[in-house]
A and B are shown apart, each in its own frame.
Chain A
Amino acid sequence: MSDTDARTAHLLLTHEVAEFLYREAELLDERRYDEWLALLADDLRYWMPMRRNVKFGEEGREFTREGQDIAWFDEGKDTLTRRVRQIQTGIHWAEEPVSRISHLVTNVQLVEATPSAAEAREVTARCRFLIYRNRVETETDILVGKREDVLRRPNDSEGGDGWQIARRKIILDQNVLLSKNLTFFF
């Protein structure tokens, strides 16, 4: 493959991944939760570690460990589905009335594509997010951070671009959580 072809493939794939992430954000902002759940791989891991203030040189202690320590989220598709079902009961008071929310996704970078950018079946993508959540009268939360996603396109995918989210690591830029709850999705 020529250098131009490789760069073109990379560009197209980055664009495709960004479009996927924007469409995913659209579903969440529009509260189309069942369609959002359909984008999640069955073996999805969804993890948001907590962060500590640590001494210079002790960066290894900053994040709580996946699968071992307490986190804000460390779960799979089943639990996320239950969260959606909880909202859909219409009596999940923390999300009733429902929040107004916008997910801003930016700084999308393609980190890795397997087997190649031209024929990608799995990609690792990083991005930044700003989630603006406004609730009831004046309650407002702004949560900012980074995401590292592994997206997969199964061989026998139907329709659309077929991407699924296989893994999502959410790095929130907060120590003490400034929001009273996390009833929404990152």
Chain B
Amino acid sequence: MSDPINIRALMPGTQITLTDGAVAEIVSNPADGVWVFARYLDSPRDPALVGQEEMIFAQDVVAAAPPK
């Protein structure tokens, strides 16, 4: 179980890994620490999500890699 991540200040372009193994890239961040808008890059559980922009909930984020 990973430590919680504060998503409040994550920059657009950050790649986040989700609890279900999906990977998404942050498009915009309302800076509320609860949600980010991210585009799915990889989604094993539901491949149809790849390319879609969704609201991602803070508790679903297990890792964040800064933008290159």
Any B CB within 8 A of the CB of A57: yes
B9 surroundings in chain A (CB, below 8 A): 57
Q: What is the bound-complex CA distance between A57 and B31, given in angstroms?
A: 9
Q: How far is the CB of A43 from chain B (nearest CB, A)?
A: 42
Q: What is the bound-complex CA distance between A56 and B33, given in angstroms?
A: 11
* Chain B 26-59 interface mask (CB, 8 Å, partner A; 1/0): 0000010000000000000000000000000000
Classify the secondary structure of A's interface with B.
Answer: loop
Q: What is the bound-complex CA distance between A56 and B6, given in angstroms?
A: 13
Give A146-186 interface residues, CB cut-off 8 Å to B.
Answer: none
Any B CB within 8 A of the CB of A82: no
B8 surroundings in chain A (CB, below 8 A): 56
Interface residue tally of chain A, by bracket?
A: under 10
Interface residue tally of chain B, by bracket?
A: under 10
Q: What is the bound-complex CA distance between A43 and B9, given in angstroms?
A: 44
A56 surroundings in chain B (CB, below 8 A): 8
Q: How far is the CB of B11 from chain A (nearest CB, A)?
A: 13
- Of chain B, the residue at the smallest CB distance from A55 is B31
Q: How far is the CB of A54 from chain B (nearest CB, A)?
A: 12
- Of chain A, the residue at the smallest CB distance from B9 is A57
- Of chain A, the residue at the smallest CB distance from B8 is A56
A55 surroundings in chain B (CB, below 8 A): 31
Q: How far is the CB of B58 from chain A (nearest CB, A)?
A: 15
Q: How far is the CB of A60 from chain B (nearest CB, A)?
A: 15
Q: How far is the CB of A159 from chain B (nearest CB, A)?
A: 57
Give A33-56 interface residues, CB cut-off 8 Å to B.
Answer: 55-56
Q: What is the bound-complex CA distance between A116 and B5, given in angstroms?
A: 49
* Chain B 1-34 interface mask (CB, 8 Å, partner A; 1/0): 0000000110000000000000000000001000
Q: What is the bound-complex CA distance between A56 and B8, given in angstroms?
A: 10
A57 surroundings in chain B (CB, below 8 A): 9, 31
Q: What is the bound-complex CA distance between A55 and B31, given in angstroms?
A: 9
Q: Residues of B with Cβ closer than 8 Å to A? A: 8-9, 31
A-B residue pairs, 4 tightest by C-beta: A57-B31, A55-B31, A56-B8, A57-B9
4 contacts between A and B (CB under 8 A): A55-B31, A56-B8, A57-B9, A57-B31
